[in-house]
Structure 1
Amino acid sequence: MVQEKARSPHLVLAMLLLVYVFNFLDRQILGILAQPIKADLGLSDTELGALGGIAFALLYSVLGVPFAVIADKTSRSGVIAISLAVWSGFTALCGLATGFWQLFLFRLGVGVGEAGGVAPSYALIADYFPPHQRARALSIYSLGIPLGLAGGAFFGGWIAETVEWRVAFITVGIAGVVIAPVFKYLVKDLPRPAPTAAAARVPVSAVFKIVAKKPSFWLMAFAASCSSLVGYGLAFWVPSVMIRSFGFSLLEASQYMGSLLLVGGTAGVFAGGWLADKLGSKDRGVYARLPAIAWLICAPLFATALLSDSPFIAWFLLVIPNGLNLLWLGPITTAIQHLVPQAMRATASASFLFINNLIGLGLGSLVMGTMSDMMTARFGNDSLRYSVVAALAFYLLAAFLILFAVKTLRKDWEDEPQQA
C-alpha cells in the first residue's frame, strides 16, 4: 500500500473532479425534474424541498465525520471509491420510486454514500499540492459543482423531454457505479510521513478541540452555511421559477439554467482559488474577505434578475451572481485545511462540512419550498419566485459573519513546517 507509486497530481485532481461532477449531477437532476416528479408523484413544494434538502443532508452531514476519520486512518482514495459506488447505486434506485417516502429513503441512501466523498477529497488534494497551489487546486476540484449542476440541468431536461424522468436517475447511477473501480485503480494515497502517521492516531475529539478553539472555524462554517442555504435552494428551485413565472418548457428551463451554471459558475469557482492563491500569501485575511465581497454583490443581482419580466435581461443579471455565489469554495476550503495538522485535514473538513451541509443543504430547498406553499394563496404561480427572493437575505448574513473572520484567520492559520 505505502509501496505503491504515487500518481501525477494532475491525474489525481482530474479523477477527483470527475467524481465530484457525478456528485452534483444527481443533485441537479432532482431540481430540474422537480415539476415532472411533482406531477407524477403528487407532491407539494414542501415535500419536494424536503427531498432536495433534508432527505439528502441528514445522514450526509452526520456520517461525513466518521467516514473522514476512517479516511484519515486508512485509505482516502478507497473511501471515495466505495462512496461513489454506494451513492450511485441509490441514485439509480431513485428512478424506481413510486411515492414520497420511497424517494425520501433512496435520497437518504444517496446521502450516506456521498458522506464519504468530499472531505477525503479535500485532504488528498492538500496532500498532492503544495500550499501556494492549494486554493487553485481546490477550486479546480470545486468546478465539479457548476459542471455537475450544468450537466444535470442539460442532461436531466433532455432525458425527461425525450424519454421520462426516471431514466435520468437510472442512467447517471449506473455510470457512477462503473467509474468507481476505475477511480480506485488510478488514484493512490501518498505515503504519510512518520510524525503525521503518529498524529493520525489522535482521537476525533482532539481534532474537534483544535478547531473549536479557533473563532475563524465557526465564523467560516456559519457564513458558508448561510450562503449554501441560498445557493442550494436556488440551484434546486430556479428551474421551477423559470417554468412557473417565465412560462418556460422543461427543456427551455434546463438549457437556460445549464448555460448560466456553465458560464458563471465555472468562472466564479476558478477565480476564487486563483485570487486567494495570488493575494493570500501576503495576507491570510484575504481568504475570508473575498467571499464577503462576492456575497454582498450576489443578493441584489439575484433579486433584480428574478423579479425581472424579461428572461433575456434576467440571464445577463443572473450569470454574474451564479459565479460569485461559488467564489467562496476555493478560499474557505483551503483555509479550513490550514487550521489543523496534515493528518487531521479530512476530519477538520468533515467538521466544517457537517455544519455547512446540515444547515445549507438541509434547509435551503425546504425553507424556500415551505415559504412558497405558505404564499400560494396570495401569489399563485409566483409564490415560488417571491420565496426565493426573500431567502436572499441569508447572503447578507453570510457576508456579515465572514468579515469577522478576516482578523481571526490571520491568527488561527497554521503554516506547514515541512516542504510539501
Structure 2
Amino acid sequence: MSAPPASPFYRGYVLFILVVVYTFNFIDRQIVGILAVPIKSDLALTDTQLSLMGGLAFALFYTFLGIPIALLADRSSRTWIMTAALSVWSAMTVACGFAQNFFQLFLARLGVGVGEAGGVAPAYSLIADYFPPEQRARALSVYSFGIPIGSALGILLGGVLTSYLGWRSAFVIVGLAGLAIAPVFRLTMREPRRGGLDSAGAVTTPAKVVDVVSTLVSKPSFWGLSLGAASSSMMGYGLIFWLPSFFVRSFGEALPEFFSWMPDFLIPANAGPLLFASYFYATILLLGGIVGIWIGGAIADRYGPERKSAYALVPAAAFIATLPFFVIGVLAQSLWVAFPAFLALQALSLVWLGPVLTAFQQLVQPNMRATASAVFLFINNLIGIGVGNLIIGAISDSLRASYGDESLRYAILSGVVFYIIAAALFIVTAPRLKKDWAA
C-alpha cells in the first residue's frame, strides 16, 4: 500500500532545503571558473593545468566514490549521508583557500570531489519518495535549480569576493557558509519511507549489487540517456569553467562599458574585467538556467506519462535548437549580441535535466534508485567534468601561438559537436524508453 504523502508545506520545505544544499554543491564546484583568472596569474598555471584542477581533480573521486556511497544510500539513511557529504566538501573548499601551488590546489579539489560524491544521488532518491510519479519531473526540475543558482552565485561571489578580499578568501568564505548549513539540514530533514508513493508492487528491500548491474545492463535506454547527457555535459561544464576566462580575454575592455548603468556601490574602486565578467555570466546562468530547467520539467510532466519517448525527444529538440545560438554567441564581437545568444543557449542546454532525471527514477525499482542515479552521475561527470574542461583547455593551449588570447574562443567553438552527438543519442534512445520503463 502506498504511504500517505507528506503535507504540501513540508514537501515544499524538503525541496527548499535540498535546493539550498545543491546550490552550495555548485557554488563550491563552479567557483573555480571565475577564480581561474587570478589563480592562473598567482600560481603561474597553464590553461591545461587550470582544466586539470577545475575538472579532472574534482571528477576523479566524485565519480568513483559516487557508486559505493549510493549503494549505502539505498540501504541506510540518505539524510545522514548528505549531511556528511556537505560537511566534507565545504571543509575542503576552505582548504582550497590555503593552497600554495598547483599540487596542493589539485589535492584540495580532489577532496571537494570526495564530499560531493554523496550529495546528489541520495537527493534524487529522496525526491522520488516525497513526490508521486506525476509530479516528479517538476520536483526534480526545481531541485535542479540548484545548478544555475549555485553556478551563478559561485561566479558572482567569486568575482565580488576576489575584487574585495582576494581569491583565497573567496574559497574560505563560501566553504564556511556550507559548513553552517550542514547541522540545519540534518535536524530538519526527515527520512521518508522508501517507495512509499509508488505502486503496491514496487520493490523496496535492499538490492544486491549484481541485481542493480543486471537491471541496468538489460535497459539500453539507461545507457543512451546517460551517454547523451554526458556528451552535453562536456560543453555544459566546459562552458561554466571557461566562459568567465573567455569574457575577460575577449571582451575585457568592453565589459565595464556594458555595465556603465550599474550603481557605483556595486563596483569597488579597484574593479577589473573579472568582476564585470562575473556579473555578466552570473546573470546568464541564473536567468537562462532556471527558465530552461523549468520548461523541460513542465513539458515532461505534461507529455511523458502518456508518451515515454518524450523524456528523450524533448531534450533532443532543445540540443538541436542550441546550435545557432552557440555559434552566434561564441563568434560575437559585441556583448550586446553575445548576451541574448548565451542566455538562449543556457536555457536550451539545461532543458534535459527534468525529463532525463525523471526517466532514471522510473527505469528502476525504488530500492536501487540512488545506485542507478550514481551510475548515471559516474558516466556524466567523468566524461562531462573530467574530459570537457580538459579538451577545451588543451585546444586553447595548442591554438595560442596562432590566435593569442582569442585561442579560447575557437577552442570553445569546436565543442558544438558535443551537442549534436547528445541530440543524436537521445533520438536513438527515445523508442526504447517505453519497453524499459519499470512497472
Fold similarity call, TM over 0.5: yes
Identity of counterpart residues, as a percentage? 49
CA distance in structure 2 between the aligned counterparts of 1:344 and 1:80, rounded to whole angstroms = 17
Does the CA contact (< 8 Å) of 1:299 and 1:393 recur in 2?
no
Superposed, 1:19-418 pairs within 5 Å as 19-192=21-194, 199-247=204-252, 248=255, 249-415=273-439
Deviation, 1:303, is 1.6
Q: Which residue of 1 aligns with 2:259?
A: none
Question: Any idea what SS the aligned residue of 1:338 has?
Answer: helix
CA distance in structure 2 between the aligned counterparts of 1:88 and 1:267, rounded to whole angstroms = 28
Structure 1: which 5+ runs fail to align? Answer: 416-420
Question: Any idea what SS the aligned residue of 1:188 has?
Answer: coil
Over 3 Å counting, the alpha-carbon distance change for 1:42 and 1:155 in structure 2 is same
CA distance in structure 2 between the aligned counterparts of 1:162 and 1:190, rounded to whole angstroms = 43
Question: Any idea what SS the aligned residue of 1:73 has?
Answer: coil
Does the CA contact (< 8 Å) of 1:84 and 1:177 recur in 2?
yes
Spell out, residue by residue over 1:167-204, the C-alpha distance to the aligned partner (whole angstroms, 9 max, x if none): 11101101111111110111111133699997533211
TM-score (norm 1): 0.95
CA distance in structure 2 between the aligned counterparts of 1:130 and 1:199, rounded to whole angstroms = 16
Does the CA contact (< 8 Å) of 1:285 and 1:406 recur in 2?
yes
CA distance in structure 2 between the aligned counterparts of 1:288 and 1:197, rounded to whole angstroms = 24
Does the CA contact (< 8 Å) of 1:149 and 1:258 recur in 2?
yes
Over 3 Å counting, the alpha-carbon distance change for 1:276 and 1:198 in structure 2 is closer
Q: Which residue of 1 aligns with 2:267?
A: none
CA distance in structure 1 between the aligned counterparts of 2:384 and 2:109, rounded to whole angstroms = 17
TM-score (norm 2): 0.91
Does the CA contact (< 8 Å) of 1:196 and 1:343 recur in 2?
no
Deviation, 1:397, is 0.5
Q: Which amino acid aligns with 1:184?
A: R
Deviation, 1:258, is 0.6
CA distance in structure 2 between the aligned counterparts of 1:324 and 1:316, rounded to whole angstroms = 12
CA distance in structure 1 between the aligned counterparts of 2:93 and 2:156, rounded to whole angstroms = 18
Does the CA contact (< 8 Å) of 1:6 and 1:189 recur in 2?
no
Deviation, 1:412, is 0.6
Q: Which amino acid aligns with 1:169?
A: F
Q: Which amino acid aligns with 2:223?
A: W
Q: Which amino acid aligns with 2:228?
A: A
Q: Which amino acid aligns with 2:132?
A: P
Deviation, 1:49, is 0.5
Over 3 Å counting, the alpha-carbon distance change for 1:193 and 1:341 in structure 2 is closer
Question: Any idea what SS the aligned residue of 1:414 has?
Answer: coil
CA distance in structure 2 between the aligned counterparts of 1:161 and 1:110, rounded to whole angstroms = 24
Over 3 Å counting, the alpha-carbon distance change for 1:198 and 1:137 in structure 2 is closer
Question: Any idea what SS the aligned residue of 2:24 has?
Answer: helix
Question: Any idea what SS the aligned residue of 2:414 has?
Answer: helix
CA distance in structure 1 between the aligned counterparts of 2:99 and 2:372, rounded to whole angstroms = 35
CA distance in structure 2 between the aligned counterparts of 1:201 and 1:316, rounded to whole angstroms = 48
Deviation, 1:154, is 1.2
CA distance in structure 1 between the aligned counterparts of 2:163 and 2:201, rounded to whole angstroms = 52
| Runs of 4+ that moved beyond 4 A | 193-199
Does the CA contact (< 8 Å) of 2:74 and 2:206 recur in 1?
no
CA distance in structure 1 between the aligned counterparts of 2:182 and 2:209, rounded to whole angstroms = 28
Deviation, 1:135, is 0.2
Question: Any idea what SS the aligned residue of 1:111 has?
Answer: helix
Over 3 Å counting, the alpha-carbon distance change for 1:234 and 1:193 in structure 2 is closer
CA distance in structure 2 between the aligned counterparts of 1:408 and 1:114, rounded to whole angstroms = 32
Over 3 Å counting, the alpha-carbon distance change for 1:270 and 1:390 in structure 2 is same
Q: Which deviates more from structure 2 when the two are superposed, residues 165-174 or residues 201-210?
A: 201-210
